[in-house]
Amino acid sequence: MNDLGRVIPAVRYTSPNWLARELESVFGVAWLLAAHASEFEGAGAFTTLDIAGESILITRGGDGALRGFYNVCQHRGASLCAQSRGRAASFRCPYHHWEYGADGRLLRAPGAGSAALTDEGRPVSLRPVHCAERFGFIWISMAEAPPDLDAHLAPVATELARHRPEEYRLVSETVVEIEANWKASVDVNNEAYHLPMLHPELCDVVDARGARFVLRGDHSTVSLPIGRPGRDVSPDERASEALRGLLVRLGVKDFPIDGRIADVRLALARAFRERAAREGLDLSARSDDDLARKEQIHVFPNVQMNFLPFSLELYRHRPHPTDPSRSWFDELTFERHGSGAAPNPIRRRVRHGEHDLGPVMGADIDMLPRLQAGMRSRGFRALRLTEGELGIAHMHRVLEDWLSRGKAT
């Protein structure tokens, strides 16, 4: 990559015009992750997603079919459904009580003359968006003719399939309103370069030196060894308290108090295999080294999935409709769910600083307004990306492609 690809104009993070282009040519076209399919199972379930200035209503009809619509009443444009999720046979607009079925068709329009009830000869209906289910997630596209979803996901399909996300269930959802551009929020999770400096507490349990970064079409993956420190260790060195704490959190209860660092990753892999055997999950194709890694899959444009063998932290970054210096960061925590009742997820919406996100995520999120303020300064022109930040450079190249395609059409 030449130097040009590593010098990114800061204006991309601060300009309302640039944001408007992203909303039009990227978020208005791309397939966007809306929800996990398990969040609305059964006829009548619905959910809404606010993204890029639009509200999208996704319904599961009596026929089991999944449909997506702009959440806008076709009478005078009131936003239709104010709830973020639930179960309903129909949706009634609060203004004049026009009522729509889960298939989007207008069912009732009290006192309206028949002329108002057709749209170019067809019955009035909510305006549809494309909606499809892949890998256990619901994806939407607002394009009239969207890109092929399978082709879009193909470069990361093997990685996604390996983790079987359809078997996961949502445990918690935290929506954080932050004062930073959505890309700054993506970037902070798109490089391991900052780990030793911003998260020194991770140095004992994660080896950032062993990060493997792979470009995959519009997307990318990073796999990060866990269970060993980011430094050379001697063969007999004992595992630190931090390493033993990681083992306990990930289900290893019997690691000896004087156990060696060299045995930690093997103990992790063994515990994952034992749990897999209990839950009927086949991990035989995966090596011990592979199991003791966190794998991040960045699905362009705005989703990062961080997989361990039984847990998934999914980050979704949603741009503000008009202000390039604001966005929403969604932290969705999933666990692989064997059998029995699915968890009842905890959901919270907070402003930055109102909720303790833990030391690592907290430090990342705290950095964002500082980045954004600096990027707006006359004293800062461009990001200068290092070898360890090629994921950020890649995302900008992909973004440029999408924006130039948008210009051509």
Where in 83-127 does DSSP place strands (E)?
Answer: 85-87, 90-92, 99-101, 106-108, 118-119, 122-123
User: Which residue, 116 or 283, is less far from ligand FES as judged by CB?
Assistant: 116
Which partner in Fe ion, ligand FES, none is near 364 (CB below 5 to 8 A by kind)?
Answer: Fe ion
Binding string to Fe ion for residues 350 to 389, with x set by CB under 5 A, is what? Answer: --------------x-------------------------
- DSSP, collapsed to helix, strand or coil, labels residue 151 as helix
CB of 79 to ligand FES, least distance (A): 9
CA distances from residue 259 to 34, 239, 271, 407 in whole angstroms, order as listed: 44, 6, 15, 59
User: Which residue, 112 or 281, is less far from ligand FES as judged by CB?
Assistant: 112
User: Which residue, 78 or 157, is less far from ligand FES as judged by CB?
Assistant: 78
Query: Contact at 8 Å (CB) between 9 and 376?
Result: no
User: Which residue, 108 or 212, is less far from ligand FES as judged by CB?
Assistant: 108
User: Which residue, 77 or 359, is less far from ligand FES as judged by CB?
Assistant: 77
User: Which residue, 78 or 198, is less far from ligand FES as judged by CB?
Assistant: 78
Phi, psi of 196 (to 5 degrees): -65, -30
User: Which residue, 75 or 265, is less far from ligand FES as judged by CB?
Assistant: 75
Helix 264-279 / helix 241-249 crossing angle, nearest 10 deg: 10
Residues forming beta bridges with residue 330, ordered by sequence position: 175, 316
Phi, psi of 392 (to 5 degrees): -70, -45
Which partner in Fe ion, ligand FES, none is near 95 (CB below 5 to 8 A by kind)?
Answer: ligand FES
CB of 78 to ligand FES, least distance (A): 4
Which partner in Fe ion, ligand FES, none is near 76 (CB below 5 to 8 A by kind)?
Answer: ligand FES
Query: Rounded to whole angstroms, how far apart are CA atoms 58 and 3?
Result: 44
Query: Contact at 8 Å (CB) between 94 and 116?
Result: no
CB of 191 to Fe ion, least distance (A): 9
Residues forming beta bridges with residue 46, ordered by sequence position: 59, 86
CB of 111 to ligand FES, least distance (A): 11
CB of 148 to Fe ion, least distance (A): 34
The 327-336 sheet, strands edge to edge: 212-216, 219-225, 293-299, 303-308, 311-319, 327-336, 168-178, 346-351
Which partner in Fe ion, ligand FES, none is near 380 (CB below 5 to 8 A by kind)?
Answer: none
User: Which residue of this chain has its Cβ atom nearest to Fe ion in the complex?
Assistant: 364
CB of 198 to Fe ion, least distance (A): 6
Amino acid letter, 11: V
CB of 377 to ligand FES, least distance (A): 44
CB of 351 to Fe ion, least distance (A): 20
Look up residue 170 and give its two tokens: 């949502």
Which partner in Fe ion, ligand FES, none is near 96 (CB below 5 to 8 A by kind)?
Answer: ligand FES
CB of 91 to ligand FES, least distance (A): 10
Which partner in Fe ion, ligand FES, none is near 233 (CB below 5 to 8 A by kind)?
Answer: none
Q: Report the interface residues with ligand FES, using CB under 6 A.
A: 73, 75-76, 78, 93, 95-96, 98
User: Which residue, 109 or 305, is less far from Fe ion as judged by CB?
Assistant: 305
DSSP assignment, residue 24? Answer: I
* Helix, strand and coil in the chain, % to nearest 5: 35, 30, 35
Count of residues near Fe ion by CB under 5 A: 1
Which partner in Fe ion, ligand FES, none is near 93 (CB below 5 to 8 A by kind)?
Answer: ligand FES
- DSSP, collapsed to helix, strand or coil, labels residue 342 as coil
CA distances from residue 21 to 143, 187, 253, 405 in whole angstroms, order as listed: 14, 19, 52, 11
Q: Does 313 interact with Fe ion (rule: CB under 5 A)?
A: no
Place of tokens 């009290």: 110
CB of 188 to Fe ion, least distance (A): 6
User: Which residue, 221 or 304, is less far from Fe ion as judged by CB?
Assistant: 304
DSSP assignment, residue 72? Answer: B
Residues forming beta bridges with residue 214, ordered by sequence position: 221
Residues that bind Fe ion (CB under 5 A): 364
